Amino acid sequence: MRTGLYSKNQFLLDAIQSLISGSRIFTGNQPDDLSIGCSINSGNRVLILGTGFGAAIRSTLAGIPNAKITVVDYDKNVIESCSSLYKHLFPTLDPVTYVYGDASKIDSLVNSTFDLIYVDLYSDTHCPDFVLEEPFWNIIRLRLAEKGSIVANTWGLPTHLFPYDANTPQARMIQLLARCFKNLYAFPFRRNITLVASQTDIQVKEIRTDYQLHELDRAYFDFFPLRWMTSHKISTDSIDDKCFNILDTAHREMDEEMRRRSTDWISFLNVGMKEFGYPSITSNMLKEITCDSICAQNITEWLLDKGSYEASFIPNLVCSYAFTDSRGLEWYPKWIFRNYNRLVEKDKFWFFNIAMVQLLSIVNNPYTNRDGTSRNEIERDTVQLVQELKSRYILNVKRTTT
Which of 187, 210, 238 marks a domain boundary? 238
Are residue 161 and residue 276 in the same domain, yes or no? no
Residue-averaged pLDDT of the chain: 89
Are residue 311 and residue 346 in the same domain, yes or no? yes
Of the pLDDT bands very low, low, confident and very high (cuts 50, 70, 90), residue 252 is: confident
Q: What are residue 233's DSSP bridge partners?
A: 185
> Which CB contacts under 8 angstroms, 24+ apart, belong to 389-392?
389/223, 389/226, 389/340, 389/352, 389/356, 390/222, 390/223, 390/225, 390/226
What are the distances in angstroms from CA 127 to CA 122, 140, 145? 5, 17, 26
Residues spanned by the domain of 233:
12-238
Are residue 143 and residue 258 in the same domain, yes or no? no
Q: Does 3 fall in a domain? A: no
Predicted TM-score (pTM) of the model is: 0.93
User: If you write DSSP's letter for every residue of 261-273 in order, what string do you get?
Assistant: HHHHHHHHHHHHH
398: pLDDT strictly greater than 80: no
What are the distances in angstroms from CA 349 to CA 101, 222, 242, 346? 39, 17, 30, 9
- Gap between the Cα atoms of 174 and 169, Å rounded: 9
| pLDDT tens by residue, 213-226 | 999 999 999 999 99
Inter-axis angle of helices 215-229 and 356-364, nearest 10: 160
Are residue 211 and residue 292 in the same domain, yes or no? no
Are residue 174 and residue 257 in the same domain, yes or no? no
Q: Does 292 fall in a domain? A: yes
Q: Does 400 fall in a domain? A: no
| pLDDT tens by residue, 11-27 | 898 887 788 999 999 99
